[in-house]
Amino acid sequence: MTFFATTLESMAISAAVGGVGFWAARRGRLDRPALKVLSLIALDIALPCQIFASILRAFEPAHYPGWWQLPLWWGALTLLQGAIALLTGRLFDPSTRREAQLGLLYQNAIFIPLVMLVELFGPHSRMVVQLFLFTLFFPAFFFTTAPLFYPAPNRGLRWNRLLTPSFIATGAALALKGLHLGAAIPEFALRGLELVGAIAVPGLLMYLGGAICHDRSHVSAGSLRPILGFVAIRNLLIPMLVLGIVHFLPLPGELSLLLVLQAAMPPITALTALVDREGGDRLFTNRIMLASFLVALITVPLFLSLHHRFIQPVILSNP
C-alpha cells in the first residue's frame, strides 16, 4: 500500500468514527449537553492521561536531546500562520475577516494529528510523544489569545487558562522523567491511565461528528468565493509554504513531518463555539470549517505523501 493510501485510510478511519458521533447526534443520543460532557471527558480527563502515560512510556531525554526545541518550532509555525492570516485577511469582507483570520491562525493542532499519528505509528510512538511536546503551549495560546480578536471593555489575557490539564500532565511527566522518577509509578497505575487515555481519540472524533451534526442546520451555500479562498489558503497555500521551507532546512525527518502535518490541518474544532460566544459570524465560520475539513481528507494525505517522497521517507508501524 502506498504512503498516500495509508494516510488516506487513516483519515477515512477518523471520518468513520466521527460519523458514529454524527449518527448518534442525529438520533438524539448526543444532544448539546451530552456533547459538552463528552468534550470535557475527552479533553480534561482522557487526553491528559494519554499524554502522561505516553511520555512515561516512550520519552527518554537521552533519545530526545533537542526535545525542548519542539515548542519553539511550534512558535515559529504560529508566527508564519499569523503573518499569512494578517496579510491575506484583507482579501475577505470586513464582516467576516476576523473569522477567516482565526481559522488561518489556529489549526486543529491536536485532535486530527493525534488520530493520524496513532494510526500510522502506534499509540506510544516517538511521533505521538513529539506531537504532545510540539503542541505543549497551543491550548493555552488559543484560549487566551483567540478572544482578543473580539475587543471588549476591560478584556485582557485570561491567565487562568494557561494551566490546562494537558499542560499540567505534560509538565508532570517531563518532571518525573527528568528526575528519573518515572519508575516510581506502579505498572497497574500506568495501565489504568492508558485505559482512560484510550478514550481520548474516539471521544474527540465523536465530539467532532456530533458538533457537525448539530451545526449542519446553520450551514448554507452562501457565497462560494470567500469559502474557496479560505480553503485555498488554509489547505493549500500554508502547507505548500511549509513544505518548501522544510525542504531547504536541515531538520530531522520527524520534526519536518510534524510541521507539514500541522500546516495542512483544517481550523481548530472549538472555533465555532468561540465565534458564537463572542458574537461573530457563526454561519461563515461553519462554512469554512466544514469545507476545509472535507478538503483536508485529500490534501493532508497529499502533503504527507509529498514529504514522504521528496524530503524523507517515513517508516510506518502499520504499513
CATH number of the domain to which 61 belongs:
1.20.1530
Strand partners, 107: 267
Query: Is residue 316 domain-resident?
Result: no
CA–CA separation, 113 and 109 (whole Å): 7
Query: Is residue 267 domain-resident?
Result: yes
Query: Is residue 159 domain-resident?
Result: no
Query: Is residue 319 domain-resident?
Result: no
Query: Is residue 65 domain-resident?
Result: yes
Query: Is residue 318 domain-resident?
Result: no
CA–CA separation, 48 and 170 (whole Å): 8
3-state secondary structure of 316: coil
- pLDDT (tens, 9 = 90+) of the chain, 319 residues, equals 577 887 888 788 878 888 899 999 999 888 888 988 888 888 889 988 988 998 888 888 777 778 889 999 999 999 999 999 999 999 999 999 999 999 999 999 988 888 888 878 877 788 888 998 999 888 888 888 888 888 776 655 565 566 778 888 888 998 998 888 888 889 999 999 999 988 887 887 888 788 778 766 555 555 788 999 999 999 999 999 999 999 999 898 889 999 999 999 999 877 877 787 788 887 888 889 889 988 999 999 999 999 988 888 876 654 3
CA–chain centroid gap for 212, Å, is 16
Nearest alpha-carbon partner for 260 in 246, 249, 248 = 246
pTM of the model: 0.86
Nearest alpha-carbon partner for 199 in 29, 49, 316 = 49
The answer to whether 300 and 11 are in contact (CB under 8 A) is: yes
Query: Is residue 315 domain-resident?
Result: no
Structural domain boundaries enclosing 103: 3-154+164-310
Structurally, the chain folds into a number of domains equal to 1
